[in-house]
Amino acid sequence: MTDTKDFSDYKGVWVFIEQLDGDLTRTTLSLEMLGEGRKLADKLGTELVAFLLGHNVKKLAEELVHYGADKVLLADDPALANYRTGHYTDIICKEALERKPDILLVGASPVGRDLAPRISYRLHTGCTADCTLLDIDEEKKILVSTRPAFGGNVMATILCPDHRPQMSTVRPGVMEVPQKDMARKGEVIDLKVSVDDAKDPVKVLSSRKREHSGINIQEAERIVAVGMGAGDTHTFAKLEELAKELDAHIGGTRPVVEACLITHDCQIGQTGKTVRPELYIACGISGTVQHTTGMSGAKTIVAINKDANAEIFNFAHYGIVGDASKIVPALIEQIRSAKAVN
Ligand code: FAD
């Protein structure tokens, strides 16, 4: 069946760009996808297209080129200022039907998770959700999407050989933000969009910023992560002290969130955030796959656990076996002495 379909008209790797209040850097996911999209486009010898929707966002188009896009499809309209499922789906699908992209990447953010299934349904194609790895099958020249399955116990590799565009949503924090190249040149295409707000059954009456810890843990350079083995009041207070000494953010495992020690936006792992800090101190964390999937990309991992056989030590660059309630105060003391000497 695959052999009978001719997809030679379908070209280009598209990336749906998310911006917040006209700012690309407040969520790095779109930039991460541009970096990955660039690699896929180069392997296919095709163009990388950034699809940007919003209001007063034209200034971002050039930046997208600097981050690797060859072309920017720009839909700028007051009705697109806030994300609207119907309008965004209509515009992207209209362009996709006309321009025929080979691949379409969308972020696995709350917006992307709402938008991507609508697009894939409308275009009669598949969508691999929550991918952690993307590649091109050299022989068949098709997208190879990999994502954790069965609670993260296996990695599933998924192809979409019979439909176009091949769609995937991409987990935040898994791929690297590319270097900005100010010398890159690209084309910006102003799309003529006609958005009939009156026909939209959804009306945005007001919007309010969600309350959270105020910390974007994905941008932290250093993280002190708390697990159930360090969740008692005394050790937790010491970990906060350690974080302060290191100018680090506090993150943690899901049970620690469930115990209300930290907020959900600081949960790291499969159902939390994926982080790639310079330093990750995992304290009293067993190291289940649901947690390590969100932190294994950290540059330096230090694990503290009283169980020498804990799985977390298989991910750690440095391991300390012992009771966290004793080790953490000792670490703080060492850091303070080192600071005093310097
Ligand atoms: P535990 O597994 O209980 O480990 C505690 C560790 O502390 C042990 O290794 C123990 O040896 C050590 N310890 C105990 N006392 C001390 C001490 N005094 N000093 C030093 N070490 C000590 N989890 C996440 O973290 N993030 C997710 O996003 C996530 N998503 C999930 C999604 C699904 C669908 C499911 C089913 C689970 C998910 N989980 C997630 C939960 C995950 O499976 C584990 O239960 C969780 O990560 C374990 O947390 P923990 O390491 O804090 O606790």
Least confident of 82-91, 199-208, 224-233, 240-249: 199-208
**CA 197 / ligand 1 centre spacing (Å):** 47
Dist CA 340 CA 342 (whole Å): 5
**CA dist list (Å): 25 to 32, 69, 182, 209:** 11, 16, 16, 17
Radius of gyration of the chain (CA): 22
- Take atom 39 of ligand 1 and give the residue whose Cα is closest: 290
Locate the ligand 1 atom nearest the alpha carbon of residue 310 and give its number: 9
**For the purposes of burial, counting CB atoms within 10 Å of the CB of 337, is it exposed (0-12), middle (13-18) or buried (19 or more)?**
exposed
pLDDT at 208 over 70: no
Tell me, what's the pLDDT at 151? 64
Strand order in the sheet with 142-149: 133-137, 142-149, 154-158
Dist CA 228 CA 63 (whole Å): 43
Dist CA 29 CA 276 (whole Å): 13
What average pLDDT does the structure give for the chain?
92
Least confident of 20-29, 135-144, 199-208: 20-29
DSSP SS3 for 219: helix
**CA 16 / ligand 1 centre spacing (Å):** 34
**CA dist list (Å): 133 to 49, 238, 299:** 20, 37, 18
pLDDT at 4 over 80: no
pLDDT grade for 335, boundaries at 50, 70 and 90: very high
Locate the ligand 1 atom nearest the alpha carbon of residue 270 and give its number: 28
**CA 328 / ligand 1 centre spacing (Å):** 18
Beta carbons of 313 and 303 less than 8 angstroms apart = yes
- Take atom 11 of ligand 1 and give the residue whose Cα is closest: 307
User: To test the ligand 1 pocket, which listed residue (226, 232, 254, 265) has its Cβ within 8 A of the most ligand atoms?
Assistant: 254
Domains of the chain, each with CATH number or no CATH:
13-199 (3.40.50.620), 217-341 (3.40.50.1220)
pLDDT grade for 326, boundaries at 50, 70 and 90: very high
Strand order in the sheet with 222-226: 249-252, 222-226, 279-283, 300-305, 318-321
Beta carbons of 164 and 126 less than 8 angstroms apart = no
Dist CA 9 CA 113 (whole Å): 28
Q: What is the mean pLDDT of residues 311-337?
A: 97
Neighbours of 291 (CB within 10 A): 27
> Can you spell out the DSSP letters for 29-63?
HHHHHHHHHHHHHHHHT--EEEEEEESS-HHHHHH
**pTM to 2 decimal places:** 0.64
**CA 266 / ligand 1 centre spacing (Å):** 14
Using CB distances shorter than 6 Å, the residues near ligand 1 are 151, 227-229, 253-256, 267-272, 284-286, 288, 290-291, 294, 304-307, 310, 323-325
In sign, the C-alpha dihedral spanning 240, 242, 247, 251 is: negative
- Residues 150-185 have pLDDT tens digits of 766 789 999 999 999 999 999 877 888 899 999 999
pLDDT at 1 over 70: no
